[in-house]
Structure 1
Amino acid sequence: MQDFGVDEDKLQEQFLQESMQQAILNNPELFKGKIVLDIGCGSGKLSFFAVHYGATHVYAIDCYSIINDSQTTEKLNNVSDKFTLIKDRIDNVVLPVDYVDVIVSEWMGYCIFFDSMLDPVIFARDKWLRKDTGRIFPDRARLHIMGIKNLLNKKAKDINQPIVGVCDNEQVITNECTLVEIDLMTITTPELHFSLPFQLKVKTSGILFALVAYFDVAFSHSSNSPQQSFVELDDEKKTQQYLFFSRKPYVMNWQQTVFSLPKIWNVDNNDILMGEFTLCSNTSSNEEMNITILYKHIHNDSEQGLMIKDEQQKKYILG
């Protein structure tokens, strides 16, 4: 997959960490006196936030080069009695405790699912997280798609590879469609592969070049409230009680994943783009994911009504 925004990714990661820190700060009761597991701890900042806001102990796990931020390392050294660093794969880890109260992780990947840490989080949830009162942070996510009228002035080296880039409001010519919503407290590994229908309505006549996929994530609990739905979170996010982070085009300068159509379509206002979005692992490579999109262009003719104008299918490789 082509990545055109390393600097932007760093800014997005910083914003996400700051958002998660703010959500922890606003809900200290969820961390105070609790045992926390940080999966894919990276720089260790989330581990430090958890300790700083009252966690009894944090077990931080990563199988790569970790805790590489000198300031964070110094802070964690000052609370070494409350912090244990483990460099290993999650399925090899043996914790000295039978359970944890909270799992924190920046588990999201491209299109949520690719290059994510969903599998390790699910594994840890089933093995260590308290069944009755345990929390995952963040615990909810949605994947959305919409149609755009150009390809960000960027070309992928492989036509079957998606493009990563930033879309703006002027590029979007359809409404949005939510493909899938996941709850990390209940989702299972087989459910990470799916085939789902979608339908988009053209809002502005033009040339449709691609679909753009983006996600939002949330921590749907607060100290004093039960789990919230995304509809409720849309209303509540301004209170900052809940973590709410979106990569929606034109909300902020976040990158999205762009899937170019097999061939461009001239579309008119009120035309419909419908089809099926299929996501599954590549059986020949653990580092790739296959996405197949079936497209149907339905023209809304003023005299003849709805009629199928064209149909296409394309397979994309994330990897």
Structure 2
Amino acid sequence: MQSPGDYSSNGFNGEHHREIELKEKHFPGLTSSFGGAKKRSRGVAPEPRDGLSNGVRVSDKLGEEKSLETPPPPPKSPPPCTDFDVAYFHSYAHVGIHEEMIKDRARTETYREAIMQHQSFIQGKVVVDVGCGTGILSIFCAQAGAKRVYAVDASDIAVQAQEVVKANGLSDKVIVLHGRVEDVEIDEEVDVIVSEWMGYMLLYESMLGSVITARDRWLKPGGLILPSHATLYMAPISHPDRYSHSIDFWRSVYGIDMSAMMQIAKQCAFEEPSVELISGENVLTWPEVVKHIDCQTIKIQELDSVIANYKFKSMMRAPMHGFAFWFDVEFSGPTSSPSKSTSASSVASGSSSMSPSREGNQKKRSNPSDALVLSTSPEAPPTHWEQTIVYFYDPIDVEQDQVIEGSVTLSQSKENRRFMNIHLEYS
């Protein structure tokens, strides 16, 4: 067993492990203000501005009658808003992040289609949009006939969301609440929760916790959550072009032997997870499920640590350069059964070779009543999530049918719960 962080290896005869921490600096190209981290803010509750509701009981604000039912017991105190949270929320006031997300047509159009597909659950009902950003999903819900939509966001982008709602003549239906889901007050139960909570590698940024909080605070029994399920996958990959571009380049630079740079180049290029696009041709095996999430039942404590064992069999002889991670989310109604996504034949995530019945990111299963699926697979059309790659410092030659097995642990950083620690063991 090698020491943590030692990523050298000389084949698959031995066992190896590596620990890395997935922070904002660990994504090449991300800014120090989380500029590339694509998650909706949901945090600190700043002073109300421009008529935004902040911490008010919105049913009072609307002049509605109080329920005569016995009120539920007071909720537990929400977790404190840390300096990390404040920085995170502040980053989502930048319009560039929202532009990137909205321009991701696979993402945005799948959400719109899912909302319209579930119009019968939304029409005349009350909806909460967790991390509403610019408010586009809230507006889709209003267009689908929602009686009322609570659009919740802690970032200052909520100010613009209010203006967008007003410009579209929806101020009577969409109520923008500027604050954390954990802090704002809604004095009625809701029928639907919609949220685009997924981060890189599905769980980076930990926004799912706020969806769970909204569910436990407000959702009626049997209510709808969109998306309803999510599945994180992993598979070993071969990516010689990336290795050549980042490492072999230094062997000869303008005729000068600069191979002395190769070790530090490996460290700089591969010591941290990389968010990038690969293709199905890079994937060496059928993928394995790391975590399947049912948004109706998952508990916040489950997000503290995710542990999965894996066993792959290489489909070809090739150098193995590391592991790739990607995810699917699906949009099924509260009476629908979750997809059987834990079998090897269905973990294709929309890929043509792994799942011939699907095409593209936006897919319906063979049964029309089954879920719409948004995929970030290497064989699906690209999304802004791309794939997350954990590279080895040096490639490992594998033979066809060679077994690759081990475990992966994903855990929230104790320093900052929005960061993720990755512990990989392989043999």
TM-score normalised by the chain length of structure 2: 0.63
SS of match in other structure, 2:285: strand
Q: CA 1:289–1:55 in 2, change beyond 3 Å: closer, same or farther?
A: same
Q: Contact (CA 8 Å) 1:208, 1:264: kept in 2 or not?
A: yes
1:137 aligns with 2:226: yes
2:232–2:291 Cα contact (<8 Å) kept: yes
Q: CA deviation at 1:73?
A: 3.7
Mark the CA change 1:274 to 1:262 in structure 2 (over 3 Å): closer, same or farther.
farther
1:59 aligns with 2:190: no
Q: Name 1:163's counterpart in structure 2.
A: 274
Return the letter of the residue paired with 2:233.
Answer: H
Q: Report the 3-state secondary structure (helix = DSSP H, G, I; strand = E; otherwise coil) of the residue aligned with 2:127.
A: strand
Count of aligned pairs: 290
In structure 1, what is the Cα distance between the partners aligned to 2:338 and 2:327?
16
Whichever residue aligns with residue 179 of structure 2, its letter is D
**Aligned to 1:227, what secondary structure does the other structure show?**
coil
State the partner residue of 2:316.
Answer: 204
> 1:289 and 2:401 equivalent?
no
Question: What is the CA distance between 1:74 and its match in structure 2?
Answer: 4.7
Stretches (4+) displaced over 6 A: 5-8, 232-235
Partner of 1:311: none
Match of 2:377 among 235, 238, 248: 248
Using the TM superposition, give the Cα deviation of residue 98 of structure 1 relative to its aligned residue in structure 2, in angstroms: 2.6
Matched, 1:88 2:88: no
2:215 is the counterpart of 1:125: yes
Give the deviation of 1:26 after TM superposition.
2.2
Question: Which residue of the partner structure matches residue 27 of structure 2?
Answer: 2
Determine the structure 1 residue equivalent to 2:110: 19
Quick check: 1:22–1:240 contact (8 Å CA) kept in 2? no
Partners of 2:389 and 2:379 in 1: how far apart?
A: 14
Partner Cα distance (2:423, 2:228) in 1: 27
Question: Unaligned stretches of 5+ in structure 2?
Answer: 1-25, 31-35, 37-95, 247-266, 347-354, 358-363
SS at structure 1 position matched to 2:172: helix
Q: Distance in 2 between matches of 1:214 and 1:27?
A: 26
Q: 1 CA distance for matches of 2:196 and 2:105?
A: 11
Structure-2 separation of matches of 1:40 and 1:61: 5
Deviation at 1:220, TM superposition (A): 1.8
Q: Partners of 1:218 and 1:287 in 2: how far apart?
A: 23
Alignment partners' CA distance in 2, 1:216 and 1:256: 11
Tell me what 1:49 maps to.
140
Residues 269 and 4 of structure 1: is their aligned pair in 2 closer, same or farther, counting only changes over 3 Å?
A: farther
Residues 232 and 328 of structure 2 are in contact (CA less than 8 Å); yes or no, is this contact kept in structure 1?
yes
Report the more deviating stretch, 119-128 or 251-260: 251-260
Q: Assess if the C-alpha contact under 8 Å between 1:278 and 1:291 holds in 2.
A: yes
Structure 1 residue 263 displacement after superposition: 3.6
1:40 maps to 2:131? yes
Confirm or deny: 8 A CA contact 1:169 1:249 kept in the other structure.
Answer: yes
**Aligned 8 A contact 1:151 1:260 in 2:** no
- Tell me, yes or no, if the aligned pair for 1:138 and 1:243 is still in contact at 8 Å: no
1:199 counterpart letter in structure 2: K
Alignment of 1:222-233 (within 5 A): 226-231=335-340
Q: Aligned in 2, Cα 1:253/1:107: closer, same or farther, shift over 3 Å? A: same
The CA distance in 1 between the partners of 2:376 and 2:114, in whole Å, is 18
How far does residue 12 in structure 1 lie from its aligned partner after superposition?
A: 6.7
Q: 1:215 aligns with which of 312, 327, 333?
A: 327
SS at match of 1:230: coil
Matched, 1:273 2:385: no
**Structure 2: which amino acid aligns with 1:203?**
M
Are the structure 2 counterparts of residues 173 and 159 from structure 1 closer, same or farther at C-alpha, using a change threshold of 3 Å?
A: closer
**Among the aligned pairs, what percent are the same residue?**
29
SS at match of 1:104: strand
Name the SS for the 1:130 alignment partner: strand
Gaps of 5+ in 1: 297-319
- Larger of the two Rg values belongs to structure: 2
**Aligned residues of 2:205 and 2:417 also touching (Cα < 8 A):** no
More strand by share: 1
Pick from 295, 301, 306: which aligns with 1:190? 301
Q: Secondary structure at the match of 2:322?
A: strand
The answer to whether the Cα contact below 8 Å between 1:149 and 1:171 also exists between their aligned partners in 2 is yes
Highest relative contact order (Cα 8 Å, sep 6+), 1 or 2?
2
- 1:41-82 superposed Cα distances (whole Å, 9 cap, x missing partner): 011111001111110000000111325479944554x12111
Matched residue SS, 2:175? strand
